[in-house]
Chains A and B, each alone.
Chain A
Amino acid sequence: MSGHEEGEPKELAEFRAEVKAWIAANKPAKPAFKLPLSFLEVESKEQFDYLREWQRKVYDAGYLGYDVPKEYGGQGVDRARFRVVGQELARSRAPFMVNLIALQWAGPTIMTYGTEEQKKAYLQGILSAEEIWCQGFSEPGSGSDLASLQTRAVKVDGGYRVTGHKVWTTLAHFAKYMILMARTDPAASKYSGISYFLFPMETEGVDIQPLVKLSGEGGFNQIVFDDAFMPESALLGEEGQGWNIAMTTLMFERGANEGVGRERAAGFVERINTLTEVAKRQKRGGKPVSEDPVFRDRIVRAWIEAQAMALAAARSEAPQLNADRPLALPLMNKLVMSEWAQHVAELGCEMLGPEGALWVGDDHAPDGGDWPRAFMNSFGMTIGGGTSEILRNIIGERVLGLPKSK
């Protein structure tokens, strides 16, 4: 009964069956090279090309863009279908959409704040993966205290010139555009001096330097801007409105937009199936891990939590079920999901027993060493997009009305 949704309208159930069949028939074969586990670790050109080709294929089949009107290259806004596609992609264990920053964060932000020209210029390229996006928010001196950022955008004839330093920039080496926060008015207050730009990366004065993650993988970068030019049209919204727009982007990034939580949750439920398979396959003391009462208990815990997250995501789309505390679910989404994923990755590593000591590249490493790799990479999600600690502050203050931490 995988993918079954009780009470789903017939028309939607048919669409679901169609999407499922299409994915099964078109899902690309596993390549000879190592695929990244998430969009955070896309390192090589061959990985990138493979993933971009897959996204393009899904788009060409007409399944991407149910959150974007037709005039901007989408399928017309249909939230129910949007959700179905997301869920079925997650359940199928097909590759992820490589242009995720654009699809889930930049695109919806442009839909919210963009001019007609901007929507026309950017949205289709996002969906087709023709134009890849990265995000320029964090700086070496401004992580959790994002509003302290120092990168400057100085108004010049016909546009702006950018000078500064951004860091942890996933996909920058493949990106055509960056959503960029920069200070346009240093005299204004911390928050109101910031503007939000759709910065074209292929320009002079942009130096992209790869960073290496704790797993040894690349995929993210630091970027030094030295008087790099962008046209006036790169400004999103008004000058000085950047902080508010960035908060919208972060809301999307944390999974507050409708449907995304459920798509992620579908992936997590699928992850439990993987965990179960591993437990049946891996042995400890000659017996399958799945017969060990301690591991059974820990896997069931993760299963219950996955169900709770999936239900919470469904619930967040029924506002009356959250009337007492409307902001709770959107704000806690990313916190619980990222911590759960981390926890499950560690559990997977532990189930491997002695083989848990093997790393990517060893022929005997279970699942090619993906469990320790996923565990290390999971910290990208508990740190990026607002650390778990910052999210707890935000929830405490905005949802529960606790006093601000100093």
Chain B
Amino acid sequence: MLLVVEQFLNGLQFGLLLFLLAAGLTLVFGIMDLVNLAHGSLYMMGAYFAATFAAWTGSFLLGALLALGATLVLGIVLEMSALRHLYGRDHLDHVLATFGLILFFNEAVRLIWGPAGLALPLPAWLTVPVPILPGIHYPAYRLAIIVVALLVALLLYLGVMRTRIGMLIRAGASNREMIGALGINIKLLYTLVFGLGAALAGLAGLMQAPILTVQIGMGENILILAFVIIVIGGIGSIRGAFLAAIFVGMIDTLGRAFLPNLLRQILSGAAASTAAPALSSMLIYLLMAIVLVVRPEGLFPANRR
């Protein structure tokens, strides 16, 4: 029972983290029609910035805030210097150009921070276990991730659905010429959206940093997961990304936790311990394959263009 609740919460936490990453990715794709493979690099930069700033200032929170600002600025600079020239080009061009950016960022990080990973230690008040149910404790930090990510998801929803900027963003997603004709500065809007996406990736990265080591290439594995999520959810759909992210986070975490035992009951011990890690890593890809076979456009396709 304890284990089930704990793994369930772990899955939720991982899913919400993936949502932050996938939201930025799908926002940028849905509105600017830009496939950004370098999104994982922004996630990595968020983690590196946080580790560095936290070490400088001696405060976890201050470091996290500075890192958030830094990824926002980095995203804006990236958009203005390079990616802005890619709008309207082939998706393949996007894939290639941003693949080049991945090489660049990985190498730049190796040059600046060195090949060894960094650690981002948690402050004492975030390491205590919190009682969530009678007799069941859960790490405060993981709980904090859940709360922060849920808050951001809510803000994002309200921002996109209820504010004027959000209205423009949605209008831009369905017809970019039209909102340009209405006298809206599309260039600025796009830069802001990209910056927002970058900041979301950075937030995911810096929140994950204390749990994993901060290392080169950390964005690449998780980027694939984010892509799986937006493909399952339907590209360009924030709601789809949210539901798919929770789903994927749950399946991945629960699969890793319980699949070995489950298999051991069917297969022999040796076969089970061989198959379990591969099978649990594959689960979400299987899920994606099934979803795409049934619904080639994902579960919640955004407005069709």
A binds B: no
Residues of A within 8 A of B (CB): none
Residues of B within 8 A of A (CB): none
